[in-house]
Amino acid sequence: MDPAGKTVVVTGAGSGMGRQIALELIRRGARVAGIDINEATLRETGTLAPDGGKDFAPFVVNITSKEAVEALPAKVLERFGSVDGIVNCAGIIQPFIRLAELDYAAIERVFNVNWLGTLFMTKTFLPHLLERPDAHVVNISSMGGFMPVPGQTIYGASKAAVKLMTEGLHSELKDTKVRVTVVFPGAVATNITVNSGVAIPSAPAGGKEYKTLAADKAARIILDGMAQNQFRVLVGSDAKMLDRLYRLHPRRAAGFLANQMKDLLEP
C-alpha cells in the first residue's frame, strides 16, 4: 500500500522504531494516528513531524486493555475520517534471564503487550480496513519470533505468536483489499530496554560487541515492504543471515546463536 493520502495507525509511536515509522509515514504523505502509553514522548513525536504535526494525532492508549483499544477507532475516525492501515510496533522484552528464573508477572506482562496488544489492535481495526479500497496490516514480530534467543525465550514466544497470527491473517484476507505484512527485525537501536524496564547485562571484558541497525533505516525498510505489499520483511543483515541459516539447519542455527549470546547469560 502506498501510504500517500492514507491514514495509518502506529502503536509504539512515542519512541524508537515506532516513532521513526510514524515520522517516515508522514514524510511519505500519510496522516498518522500515533498510539503510545507515554504521553510525553508521544507528543514529542508530533513536534518532530516534518509537517509541524498537522498530520499527526496522538492517542494515549494502553493497548493491553481491550476496552481501551475498542474505543480507539471512533476517535481516529473523528480526527481523520478514515483508517487505511495499522502498524503494530509496540513491544517490550523480558528480563535477560533464563526461563527457570523468570517470574509469572514478567511473563504475563510480555505476552500482554506483545501478543494481546497486537491481537486487540488487529481485530478491532480489521472491520474498518475491510471497508477501504486499499488497506494494510503490518505486524512487527522479531528475529526472535523464528529463532530461539537464550534469555529472551518468552519474548520470542510472544513474537512467534504474532508471526503465526499475521501469516494466518494473510491467508484469510487473500481475496480482499487488505494486504498483510509480517516484519522480522534483527538488532535495531531503540530504547526498548528502557521502555521494558530491563537492563541488558554487561558482557565480560573482551566480550562480543553487538551491532545494531539505526531505527530510521529500519523504518524505511519496513515501509518499503508495505509499499511493495511484501508478505514478510527481514530487517537487518543479522535477521537475513539467521533466517537463511535457520531454514537450512535449525538445530545448528540455534546452537550458533546460543554461543553468540552466552556471555550475556553467564552467572
> Hey, which residues are catalytic here?
155
State the Cα–Cα distance between residues 152 and 160, nearest whole angstrom: 12
Q: Which residues contact 163 (CB under 8 A, 6 or more apart)?
A: 141, 145, 146, 182, 184
Angle formed by the axes of helices 153-172 and 117-129, nearest 10°: 20
State the Cα–Cα distance between residues 210 and 223, nearest whole angstrom: 25
SS3 173: coil
Q: What is the DSSP string of 128-154?
A: HHTTSSSEEEEEE--GGGTS--TT-HH
Q: Let me know: does 229 contact 1? Beta carbons within 8 Å.
A: yes
